[in-house]
Structure 1
């Protein structure tokens, strides 16, 4: 069994390229069906897609990295050569190490952030529901979750971590003298927006409004913070009301365009606007950044802010890597054992065949009225002869070297004494 993975993340690919390969959770199932149908031998497969990464994990009879990459390039509408220049491809032990590091938050833009573990679990659940998750990948991910749990409980990898949401508030505080004096608009109602709203709410802004396609979900989130709910369709006409805008949706196209922001600035008499686009693909058109009265930050722009606490956690990283090393060795040992499974199955099938044949013969003899002890003796002798026949034949066949090898093997398997 071969295991492989390929992906792009915040360190290998620009934001707009990552946006081409972003899959919403409800797209994972159909996408996995497309991937498995495109490969010569459909493998086990799972896709992890977040704002910072898209990764494909596969397991099959043999490595198929090139066709997997070709399929991914086609799905994103780019050439395989372009995608390859931004992609990392991993095999076997490398896959396990990478998955364990991702689950533990060591490969995140925010070192030690916990959200990725939940996102991985969602991805695994989606793969399982799509019928794409087999024994090997299930083992890989379950071990990833176990390693991540040990890393978080045994080290301080998550201590003093600065999240994207917290970084957004920090940047807003640099622009506005008093955050309790601003009006904040949140576009979307997912986990990232919930985190951002939590951090902003701690600063007691003048007003908080949630704009979401689903009003029910928006109202549920708004009720937690005493916020107002707004229809997404009303966003262009009300954009000028807000000093800060934080957006993170699963939309495949920008929701806030250059024209809408220009009109909002005019109505605001060019009072500055703080905007954070945490979505991949983008929710806010990139041209907005060129406007003189707008301070727009993307997930990549926040990288410098969230890295500031990393130096203090390098000792924790070293401790985490030791835990991950042990996890990788354990997974590779399990993989080696898995290679013996077909032979074990054949041995069990052969033993079942011998046993059934001897039992059937014993039953016939008993039905004829033969002595029970004699029948049992014959059945035991028959089983023993069948088990030893191949070994005895090897001792009487071949050249001297072959007999010597057979002798060593037979002594090892049949004549071992309990220690």
Structure 2
């Protein structure tokens, strides 16, 4: 069965989320220990971002609370803290959640497209490690197809927003006076911050651990308002500039209390990283905002898109139903029964036709039927055996779909190789 264990910005504070977040270098070790600890886990994808830590699972038991206990122990976190913020979802609820996440309907910033790429990377990593197999592969590709549908048929992702754009909007609402802003980090969020700040007329001082990377970004953006500084000068810079956006992939805080000096001016800092880049502060002249502080702007953005959101949710409900129907259609036993029954019916029809036209005496009907039945049994023996042997292989979906098409066993559209997400059904707005 499909299952999701979710810790997200909706239910768990950032101080706990950053403690269970995993850097890429530790993922394989995590997967290995997880699978060795729980025999009922058949497949798993770990999605770890700044807003969520989620296990997308295929399990053969609903006793997944033990996994929450294991995570608490593995990351040395109080079990009560994790239990207060966990969502446990199964089957259709789990699929609905996966499809919603892929379509950015469950994101802090509604409609942002970054999460789709993050989920694709998480799937790719797990698949390459061997921890994601056929069942999750099916769900992932349907989820990505669903995300593409929603992007093309709703306005959810039009004029796209992101955590970076929401942070900049909040920053602008604070009426900053000076025009130079420090951006630390040259990942996706950092680069977006630079672009948004430039578009609003600010100058940017860009810092990266790799100076060449920062220089390459400046060259790519081709804007003289970008200055580059060495990461070694971080302490001096944070104490001489009032505005700061931080978004690195560091596993620990890069700005600590001992680095901060008393300044005469008010400072506004945004920490958009998880784990957080800036150690929690209580400095009077520093207004520090983290991801979870951006809710007001996020709610406003969501309210403006409520109509499109409802339309998108209807599409997800429809896609979950289609996915379930498609899964049911891939069961090989009904397929075998269907093409054997079709062969039998062809025999019955032809014998009846022959008797009606006088080609065959009705007294011979039973003997002829037995002969034809034996002939078709021999003819269908190999296909029947082959289909039974390949039903657990990843390629079986493609083979089954084409057998259905070859024998004309379905009255509806066939999904050509769903692993490539080549086709999707048009959403009926009335849900029919």
Task: Give yes or no for TM over 0.5.
Answer: yes
Give the counterpart of 1:197 among 184, 190, 194: 194
What does residue 220 of structure 1 align with?
216
Over 3 Å counting, the alpha-carbon distance change for 1:222 and 1:24 in structure 2 is: farther
| TM-score of the pair, normalised by structure 2 | 0.73
Q: Distance in 2 between matches of 1:384 and 1:112?
A: 55
TM-superposed deviation, 1:313: 1.2
Contact 1:156–1:316 (CA under 8 A) maintained in structure 2: yes
Contact 1:96–1:331 (CA under 8 A) maintained in structure 2: no
What does residue 237 of structure 1 align with?
236
What does residue 308 of structure 1 align with?
300
Q: Distance in 2 between matches of 1:127 and 1:385?
A: 43
TM-superposed deviation, 1:346: 12
What does residue 312 of structure 2 align with?
320
Q: Report the secondary structure of 2:239's partner residue.
A: helix
| TM-score of the pair, normalised by structure 1 | 0.76
- Residue-pair matches, total: 348
TM-superposed deviation, 1:341: 4.2
Aligned pairs (5 A) from 1:7-406: 7-159=6-158, 162-178=161-177, 181-206=178-203, 208-223=204-219, 224=221, 225-226=223-224, 227-261=226-260, 263=261, 265-266=262-263, 270-287=264-281, 290-337=282-329, 340-341=331-332
Over 3 Å counting, the alpha-carbon distance change for 1:25 and 1:342 in structure 2 is: farther
Q: Distance in 1 between matches of 2:191 and 2:319?
A: 33
Contact 1:25–1:123 (CA under 8 A) maintained in structure 2: no
Over 3 Å counting, the alpha-carbon distance change for 1:75 and 1:334 in structure 2 is: farther
The superposition leaves residues 235-276 of structure 1 with CA deviations (integer Å, 9 ceiling, x where unpaired) of: 113322322111112222211112322x1x43xxx1111100
TM-superposed deviation, 1:335: 3.5
Q: Distance in 2 between matches of 1:191 and 1:260?
A: 26
Runs of 4+ in structure 1 displaced over 4 angstroms?
Answer: 341-348, 379-388
Contact 1:161–1:309 (CA under 8 A) maintained in structure 2: no
Q: Report the secondary structure of 2:72's partner residue.
A: helix
Q: Distance in 2 between matches of 1:381 and 1:276?
A: 76
Q: Which runs of 5+ in 2 are unaligned?
A: 340-370, 381-410, 412-432
Which segment is superposed worse, 140-149 or 241-250? 241-250
Over 3 Å counting, the alpha-carbon distance change for 1:177 and 1:46 in structure 2 is: closer
Q: Report the secondary structure of 1:125's partner residue.
A: helix
TM-superposed deviation, 1:282: 1.2
TM-superposed deviation, 1:210: 2.1
Q: Which has the larger radius of gyration?
A: 1
Over 3 Å counting, the alpha-carbon distance change for 1:221 and 1:33 in structure 2 is: farther
The superposition leaves residues 213-254 of structure 1 with CA deviations (integer Å, 9 ceiling, x where unpaired) of: 223323222332443333323211332232211111222221
Contact 2:41–2:58 (CA under 8 A) maintained in structure 1: no
The superposition leaves residues 176-221 of structure 1 with CA deviations (integer Å, 9 ceiling, x where unpaired) of: 454xx42221111111111111100112324x22222223323222
